Amino acid sequence: MRRLLAAGVVGAVVIGVLLLALAYRNQSRSSQQPSEPGVGEAQGLLGQAGFRIKVSHVTRDLPQAGLPAAGAGLRYVGLDVTFYNDSQSQQRADPGDFQLRDSQGGLHSHVGLGASSGQCAAWRVADLHARGKEGEPPRDQSADQVGPVFGPVGLCFEAGGAPAGPLVLLWNPDVGFLLPGVQLTLP
């Protein structure tokens, strides 16, 4: 009985070490910039997950006409993002998966300000079906059901610091347990 218990403990430790090594490997990969500017791909436990985004139309200092005033010392940053699902399973496009790190190191969540707010418009979570699997049941009943491509849709954040300062978009899609997010330096 003790041998069996010891073997189980050793097995659990080996599996834990392997999972940590895979997570570390993916962490290293996710922090690298992709070869195509503005493109980031989610990492699964065994490598690329087949779920990526492309960022376009970055506006570092959005005019505030028609928008509520940004917080003290802050401005709005807007961008468009398009989602691509090349995996074999449904993926979720969710504005809540994004944050912006401004030049002062502040982290800001997406601000959806209503339907008529341009890049700051609110949008619903969307399930992206894999190619040829449009008839599958939805992953999320309350989400919009779309094909393998969704967007472009706007994202809007408050940000501090100089408008020309560095901005990093952080994307943490729900593609697996304990997996690193994607970091994209914005132009």
Give me the pLDDT at residue 17, please: 41
The candidate with the shortest Cα–Cα distance to 167, out of 149, 183, 144, 143, is 183
pTM confidence score: 0.77
Strand partners, 52: 41, 84
The candidate with the shortest Cα–Cα distance to 182, out of 165, 174, 170, is 170
The candidate with the shortest Cα–Cα distance to 27, out of 44, 15, 10, is 44
Give me the pLDDT at residue 156, please: 94
Give me the pLDDT at residue 26, please: 41
Q: What residues does each domain of the chain span?
A: 2-185
| Cα within 13 Å of Cα(130), Cβ side | 12
Give me the pLDDT at residue 159, please: 96
Give me the pLDDT at residue 65, please: 76
Amino acid (one-letter) located at 144:
D
Q: Which residues of the chain have pLDDT under 50?
A: 13-14, 16-34
Give me the pLDDT at residue 19, please: 46
Give me the pLDDT at residue 8, please: 59
Pairing of strands 75-85, 149-159: antiparallel
Multiple choice CATH, 2-185, 1.10.10.10, 3.60.20.10, 2.60.40.1240, 2.30.30.100: 2.60.40.1240
